[in-house]
């Protein structure tokens, strides 16, 4: 039973991953594979990714930004299948360029119906997508303080 | 389900309680580096059960507690709460809001709290299991962890997928079950081990059985002894305990009485204390009262002082007001006086004004008459003035016209001069042009002549060049034929040399020996060469000599017989065939002697064969051996004749190859030459070399010829080209010259045209100048007339103006008078007005001062009444103060009394306490004694129990059964000794296996 469930869910994730990867990269192919079809409950899981216009690569051969983007695609693929009620993302988009940050932020918005996001970020693109902004400052050495801005309210005013 | 709120307190960099409210949607946390953003994520991870301090970026769990800064103390605990909305019941718990809290203290103690009740970490893990939330899940991605999803081993990645696939629950249970299984398996193994061990011990042990039997006897005796000791000891202990209990009872009753005493004393003490506290309360109340009274009195005294001050203030006010009133009435008197004076002055001024006004009106009448007269005359003057101006304008116009005409004339003159200059310039240019034309024509002629000469020259040179080309062709042909001949000869020479080198035509053996010699084999040093090699001769003797020598041509000349031996050995060894050798040391020459001269003189005899050839002197003997007795004849006839004459004692050969041997046998016929004979080859080689030498010379000369001719050709070609270029230049010069002529001619025509134009212009200009001069003289005449007229008019004007001036002076004087009068009038009116307003102002002032006076009076009376009031108040206050003072003194007395009372009671309390202390000491002593006794009792009790236990352990015997056992009639010490002895005996037996008897 466990095997069956895992198999079904894995197939869904794999499909989602292929589509989210293509959307995040604007093309390209990627897939998830079980390293041993006979022992699906214990075997490893391989990721093969091919960014647009490049050869099919092992994960180790990707650049830092590509790696991050692939990982984000995988995260989104999982969230698509099984939305976690909330999700805390600590600077996962730090390695992306500006265009990809905007794409990532837009993608986040798509999930907000099912998942609540708390993102820690330095990127303006992500901040723009946020509904609430919390600023953390350290006016006194070693002590954090909070400042908050709610975007939706402000726009109403 | 969503996250409503996070509350942090004392967690990492958040010392104060902080709440983060979240809505659905995206919440961004921003801030500078190091401000503590990630700590928020860490906090959530921590609550969800993170156990690794490393994952929270610390070394140990206590690091998550706020650790203080320079200005703040560290905190004792950290607490984080997650508040989640669970209205959709996604979490398997029956609350619509779930609060999960984790708290850790610096001592390391850590609590999980769910909705206010403590719980285990496992409960929290299970609550969030398979929701995707959880420390291992994908809902919290830490800083720098995103890459780890990919970079960790593919097996590690599984966890993420299992969480997503929702099978973690099963997997955890599975792991637990397998853990249990492992444990059970371990237990089984251990039991088997024990069984094995036991089996090993089974074995026949008779010696041990023997020993055991002896042991049993001893042990039985030992048992009996020990039981006896035990019974006696037990009785002893019992008696002891009984005695101790009796003592304890006595002590208990003592302590009881002491306790009763103590209680009584304590009750008394409490009573006294109550009394003291009552007294103190009273004292306090009195003291408070005293304080109140004192402050009351002070208040009253202050109030009195205040009243006094206000009274003095009011009095001052009254004084001030009355002073003001005095000065006010004085001011009224003064002002009334001034007003009266002003009124009399006004009357005087008014009368003066009346008078002055009349005089002024008279003067005004005279002035108006005078004014009208002056204005009439001024009109006239204006008219004359305008006339003069009109005439003057006319004069200016005429003058302008004259100056214009003059300017035009000068302009025309300048133009005329210019035209004349132009004409002379043009003439010079025309001359220049003509000169240029003639020069260009000359140049043209010269160029044509040169062109002709050059063409002829070129023709000549071309012819010469063609001749040379044919010559060059011939020379080249010759060069080619020479080259070809050289090539042919060379190849022939090469072939022959090769043949010679490989000793072609010699027998195999001979070839081998010669080859060895050539290879500088030291064994073949003495080999000089084949006979054919060493002989040189003319070609006509070739056949004769070859025939004469026969096979001896192939003989090899050697220096000694030794050398010959070596060579023959070599041939044998290598199996290279045979050869004939002529060792020089062995061969003897054949002599011909004097017959020789006779034979040579014979008809048809050419000579002795040996003398017809040439060779190196060292071979003299060999040659003599071979050819001394051979005669060469011209033909067969002479040979036969000679043979007859010499009686066939010589070998005779003819040039054609017939041979008459010694003894008369003859050989002859045709000779077939298979290969070039040995001689002819050598000769041909030398001939070829000769020929080649001459051919090379020829080649060099023809090469030089060809080169020379081609050089000349090149020179000529260059010269022709040069001449052609020159020709081209000349042609260009020619065309240039003709172009120049054309241009010059055109230019000359143009100049003539322009000359004509200029002359025409000059004549026109002269005409215009003449007309201009005439017009100018006319204008000058009219100007003179106008000037005369103007002079007349000016005279008239001057007369009139002096008249008007006198009138004006009179008018001005009267005008001045009038204005002076007007000023005076105004002055008077002004004075009157000022005085009037002064009077009014004074009246107003008087009025205000009067009002102030009355007001002052009222104020004074008011102030006086106030003073009265204050004085009354003061009297009242003084009375009150007196009363308070009395009360105060009374209270003071009461206080004194209370103090005394209190000190008495305190004395009795001290006494009581002293007795309590003494009583307590006796009680403690008793209790100590009791403790000691009880300790002894427990000791004895313990000892007896140990005794009982050891008896039970060793022999499973109780006191009751022991008493039933046999009694030994021995003293205590004897029993002890018996025990010691038995123990030693048992010890001597060593290890005893009691089972051995049965086994």
What residues of chain A lie within 8 A of the CB of B151, using their CB?
59-60, 67
Q: For the residues A10-39, what does the mean pLDDT come to?
A: 86
What is B77-104 written as a DSSP string? EEEEEEEEE-TT--SSSS-SEEEEEEEE
Which range has the worst mean pLDDT, B110-114, B621-625, B666-670, B955-959?
B955-959
**Digit-coded pLDDT (tens) for B703-756:** 888 888 888 888 888 988 988 898 888 888 888 888 888 888 888 888 888 888
In 3-state terms, what secondary structure has residue B577?
A: coil
Contact flag A120-B131 (C-beta cutoff 8 Å): no
Is the Cβ–Cβ distance between B513 and B570 less than 8 Å? yes
Distance from CA of B164 to the nearest CA of A (A): 6
What residues of chain A lie within 8 A of the CB of B155, using their CB?
42-44
- If you count DSSP H runs as helices and E runs as strands, how many of each does chain B have, helices first? 18, 16
pLDDT band at A156 (very low <50, low <70, confident <90, very high): very low
- One fold for both A1-82 and A84-157? yes
| Residue pointed to by tokens 């003001």 | B324
Of B23, B44, B131, which has the smallest distance from its Cβ to A88's Cβ? B44
Angle between helices B206-501 and B678-955 (to 10 degrees): 170
| Residue pointed to by tokens 């042919």 | B488
**Digit-coded pLDDT (tens) for B716-728:** 889 889 888 988 8
* pLDDT at residue B663 greater than cutoff 60: yes
Contact flag B141-A90 (C-beta cutoff 8 Å): yes
pLDDT band at B99 (very low <50, low <70, confident <90, very high): very high
Is this complex scored with an ipTM above 0.95? Answer: no
**Digit-coded pLDDT (tens) for B32-80:** 888 888 899 999 989 988 888 888 888 888 888 988 888 888 888 999 9
- CA-nearest residue to B131 within chain A is A84
What residues of chain B lie within 8 A of the CB of A116, using their CB?
2-3, 22-25, 27
* pLDDT at residue A157 greater than cutoff 50: no
- If you count DSSP H runs as helices and E runs as strands, how many of each does chain A have, helices first? 5, 6
- How confident is the model at residue B695, as a pLDDT? 87
In 3-state terms, what secondary structure has residue B288?
A: helix
- Taking only Cα atoms into account, the Rg of chain A, rounded to an integer number of angstroms, comes to 18
**Digit-coded pLDDT (tens) for A49-108:** 888 888 777 777 788 888 888 889 988 898 888 888 889 999 998 888 888 898 899 889
Of A60, A121, A144, which has the smallest distance from its Cβ to B39's Cβ? A144
**Digit-coded pLDDT (tens) for B231-247:** 888 888 888 888 888 98
Contact flag B20-A146 (C-beta cutoff 8 Å): yes
Is the Cβ–Cβ distance between B786 and B394 less than 8 Å? yes
**Given CB atoms, is A135 within the 8 Å cutoff of chain B?**
yes
pLDDT band at A48 (very low <50, low <70, confident <90, very high): confident
What is B30-55 written as a DSSP string? E--TTSSSHHHHHHHHHHTT---TGG
The CATH number for A84-157, chosen from 3.40.50.800, 3.40.50.300, 2.120.10.80, 1.10.10.10, is 3.40.50.300
- How confident is the model at residue B591, as a pLDDT? 73
* pLDDT at residue A122 greater than cutoff 50: yes
- How confident is the model at residue A154, as a pLDDT? 46
Angle at CA B284, nearest 5°, toward B283 and B288? 115
- How confident is the model at residue A132, as a pLDDT? 87
- Nearest Cα to Cα of residue B751 among B384, B437, B972, B304: B437
- How confident is the model at residue B8, as a pLDDT? 92
Please give the CATH topology (third level) of the domain spanning A1-82.
Rossmann fold (3.40.50)
| Count of CB atoms situated within 10 Å of the CB of B424 | 10
| Count of CB atoms situated within 10 Å of the CB of B768 | 13
Q: For the residues B827-839, what does the mean pLDDT come to?
A: 87
**Given CB atoms, is A155 within the 8 Å cutoff of chain B?**
no
* pLDDT at residue B595 greater than cutoff 80: no
Contact flag A67-B150 (C-beta cutoff 8 Å): yes
- How confident is the model at residue A23, as a pLDDT? 86
Percent of chain A with pLDDT over 70: 94
Of A91, A130, A144, which has the smallest distance from its Cβ to B26's Cβ? A130
Contact flag A79-B18 (C-beta cutoff 8 Å): no
**Digit-coded pLDDT (tens) for B435-452:** 888 888 888 888 888 888
Sheet with strand B581-583: strands edge to edge: B527-530, B556-558, B581-583
* pLDDT at residue B964 greater than cutoff 80: no
Q: For the residues B951-961, what does the mean pLDDT come to?
A: 77
Residue B947 buriedness (CB in 10 A; 0-12 / 13-18 / 19+) = middle
- How confident is the model at residue B589, as a pLDDT? 79
- Mean pLDDT for chain B overall: 84
- How confident is the model at residue B238, as a pLDDT? 86
| Count of CB atoms situated within 10 Å of the CB of B86 | 19
Q: Strand B77-85 relative to strand B97-105: parallel, antiparallel, unpaired?
A: antiparallel
Contact flag A64-B41 (C-beta cutoff 8 Å): no
Of A120, A126, A130, which has the smallest distance from its Cβ to B41's Cβ? A120
Q: For the residues A38-47, what does the mean pLDDT come to?
A: 80
Structural domain boundaries of chain A? 1-82, 84-157
What's the whole-model pTM score? 0.36
Is the Cβ–Cβ distance between B546 and B517 less than 8 Å? no
Percent of chain B with pLDDT over 90: 4
Q: Give the per-residue SS3 of B711-742.
A: HHHHHHHHHHHHHHHHHHHHHHHHHHHHHHHH
Distance CA A102, CA A32 (A): 26
Contact flag B145-A90 (C-beta cutoff 8 Å): yes
Percent of chain B with pLDDT over 70: 96
pLDDT band at B996 (very low <50, low <70, confident <90, very high): low
């Amino acid at each position: 039973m466990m095997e069956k469930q895992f198999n079904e869910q894995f197939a869904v994730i794999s499909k989602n991953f292929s589509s989210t990867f293509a959307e995040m990269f604007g093309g390209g192919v990627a897939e998830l594979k079980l390293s041993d079809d006979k022992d699906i409950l214990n075997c490893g899981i391989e990721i093969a990714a091919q960014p647009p216009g490049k050869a099919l690569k092992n994960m180790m051969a990707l650049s830092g930004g590509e790696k991050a983007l692939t990982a984000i695609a995988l995260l989104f693929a999982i969230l698509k299948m099984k939305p976690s009620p909330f999700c805390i993302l600590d600077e996962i988009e730090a390695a992306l360029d500006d265009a990809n940050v905007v794409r990532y932020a837009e993608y986040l918005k798509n999930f907000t119906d099912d998942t609540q996001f708390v993102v820690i970020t330095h990127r303006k693109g992500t901040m723009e997508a946020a509904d609430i902004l919390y600023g953390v400052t350290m006016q006194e050495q070693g002590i954090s303080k909070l400042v908050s801005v709610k975007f939706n309210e402000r726009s109403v005013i | 389900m969503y996250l409503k709120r996070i509350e942090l307190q004392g967690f990492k960099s958040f010392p104060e309680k902080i709440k983060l409210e979240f809505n659905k949607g995206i919440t961004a946390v921003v801030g500078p580096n190091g401000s503590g953003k990630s700590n928020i994520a860490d906090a959530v991870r921590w609550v969800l059960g993170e156990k690794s301090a490393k994952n929270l970026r610390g070394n140990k769990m206590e690091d998550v507690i706020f650790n203080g800064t320079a200005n703040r103390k560290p905190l004792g605990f950290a607490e984080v709460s997650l508040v989640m909305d669970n209205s959709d019941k996604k979490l398997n718990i029956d609350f619509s809001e779930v609060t999960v809290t984790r708290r850790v203290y610096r001592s390391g103690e850590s609590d999980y709290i769910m909705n206010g009740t403590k719980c285990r970490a496992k409960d929290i893990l299970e609550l969030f299991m398979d929701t995707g939330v959880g420390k291992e899940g994908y809902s919290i991605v830490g800083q720098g962890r995103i890459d780890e999803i990919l970079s960790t081993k593919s097996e590690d990645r599984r966890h993420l997928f299992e969480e997503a696939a929702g099978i973690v629950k099963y997997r955890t249970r599975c792991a637990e079950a397998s853990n249990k299984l492992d444990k059970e398996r371990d237990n089984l193994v251990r039991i088997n081990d024990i069984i094995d061990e036991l089996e090993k011990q089974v074995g026949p042990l008779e010696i041990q059985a023997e020993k055991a039997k002896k042991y049993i006897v001893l042990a039985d005796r030992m048992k009996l002894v020990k039981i006896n000791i035990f019974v006696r000891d037990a009785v002893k202990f019992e008696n002891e305990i009984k005695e101790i209990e009796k003592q304890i009872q006595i002590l208990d009753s003592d302590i009881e009485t002491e306790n009763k005493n103590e209680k009584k004393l304590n009750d008394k003490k409490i009573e006294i204390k109550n009394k003291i506290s009552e007294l103190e309360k009273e004292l306090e109340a009195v003291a408070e009262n005293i304080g109140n009274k004192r402050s009351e009195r002070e208040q009253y005294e202050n109030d009195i002082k205040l009243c006094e001050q206000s009274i003095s203030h009011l009095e001052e006010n009254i004084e001030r007001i009355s002073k003001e009133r005095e000065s006010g009435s004085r001011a009224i008197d003064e002002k009334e006086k001034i007003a009266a004076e002003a009124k009399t002055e006004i009357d005087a001024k008014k009368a003066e004004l009346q008078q002055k006004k009349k005089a002024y009106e008279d003067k005004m009448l005279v002035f108006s008459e005078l004014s009208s007269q002056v204005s009439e005359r001024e009109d006239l003057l204006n008219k004359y003035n305008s006339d003069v101006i009109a005439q003057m304008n006319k004069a200016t116009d005429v003058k302008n016209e004259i100056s214009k005409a003059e300017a035009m004339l000068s302009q025309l003159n300048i133009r005329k001069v210019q035209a004349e200059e132009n004409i002379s310039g043009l003439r010079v240019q025309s001359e220049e042009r003509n000169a240029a034309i003639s020069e260009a024509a000359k140049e043209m002629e010269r160029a044509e002549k040169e062109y002709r000469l050059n063409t002829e020259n070129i023709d000549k040179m071309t012819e010469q060049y063609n001749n040379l080309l044919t010559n060059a062709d011939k020379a080249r042909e010759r060069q080619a034929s020479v080259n070809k001949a050289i090539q042919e000869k060379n190849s022939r020479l090469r072939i022959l040399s090769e043949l010679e080198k490989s000793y072609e035509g010699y027998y195999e053996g001979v070839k081998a020996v010669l080859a060895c010699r050539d290879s500088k084999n030291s064994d073949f040093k003495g080999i000089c060469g084949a006979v054919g090699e060493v002989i040189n001769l003319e070609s006509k003797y070739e056949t004769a000599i070859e025939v004469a020598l026969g096979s001896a041509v192939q003989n090899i000349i050697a220096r000694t017989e030794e050398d010959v031996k070596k060579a023959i050995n070599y041939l044998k060894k290598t199996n290279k065939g045979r050869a004939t050798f002529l060792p020089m040391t062995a061969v003897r020459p054949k002599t011909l002697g004097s017959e020789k001269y006779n034979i040579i003189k014979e008809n048809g005899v050419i000579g002795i064969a040996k003398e017809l050839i040439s060779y190196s002197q060292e071979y003299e003997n060999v040659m003599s051996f071979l050819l001394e007795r051979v005669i060469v004849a011209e033909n067969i006839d002479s040979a036969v004749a000679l043979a007859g004459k010499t009686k066939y004692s010589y070998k005779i050969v003819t040039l054609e190859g017939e041979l008459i041997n010694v003894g008369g046998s003859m050989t002859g016929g045709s000779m077939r030459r298979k290969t070039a004979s040995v001689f002819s080859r050598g000769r041909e080689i030398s001939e070829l070399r000769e020929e080649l030498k001459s051919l090379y010379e020829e080649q060099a000369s023809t090469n030089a010829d060809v080169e020379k001719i081609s050089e000349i050709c090149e020179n000529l070609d260059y010269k022709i080209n040069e001449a052609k270029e020159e020709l081209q230049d000349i042609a260009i010069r020619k065309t240039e010259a003709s172009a120049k002529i054309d241009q010059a001619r055109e230019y000359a025509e143009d100049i003539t045209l322009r000359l004509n134009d200029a002359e025409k212009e000059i004549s026109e200009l002269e005409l215009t100048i003449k007309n201009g001069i005439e017009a100018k003289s006319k204008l000058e005449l009219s100007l003179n007339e106008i000037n005369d007229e103007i002079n007349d008019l000016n005279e008239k004007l001057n007369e009139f103006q002096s008249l008007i001036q006198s009138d004006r002076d009179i008018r001005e004087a009267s005008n001045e008078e009038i204005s002076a009068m007007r000023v005076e009038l105004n002055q008077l009116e002004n004075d009157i007005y000022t005085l009037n307003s002064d009077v009014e102002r004074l009246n107003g002032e008087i009025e205000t001062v009067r009002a102030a006076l009355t007001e002052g009076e009222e104020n004074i009376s008011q102030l006086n009444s106030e003073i009265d009031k204050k004085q009354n108040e003061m009297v009242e206050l003084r009375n009150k103060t007196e009363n308070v003072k009395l009360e105060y003194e009374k209270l003071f007395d009461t206080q004194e009394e209370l103090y005394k009372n209190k000190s008495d009671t305190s004395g009795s309390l001290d006494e009581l306490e002293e007795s309590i202390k003494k009583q307590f000491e006796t009680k403690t002593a008793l209790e100590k004694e009791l403790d000691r006794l009880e300790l002894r009792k427990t000791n004895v009790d313990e000892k007896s129990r140990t005794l009982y236990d050891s008896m039970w352990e060793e022999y499973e015997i109780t006191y009751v059964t022991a008493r039933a056992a046999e009694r030994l009639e021995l003293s205590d010490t004897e029993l002890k000794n018996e025990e010691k002895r038995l123990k030693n005996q048992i010890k001597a037996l060593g290890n005893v296996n009691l089972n051995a008897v049965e086994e």
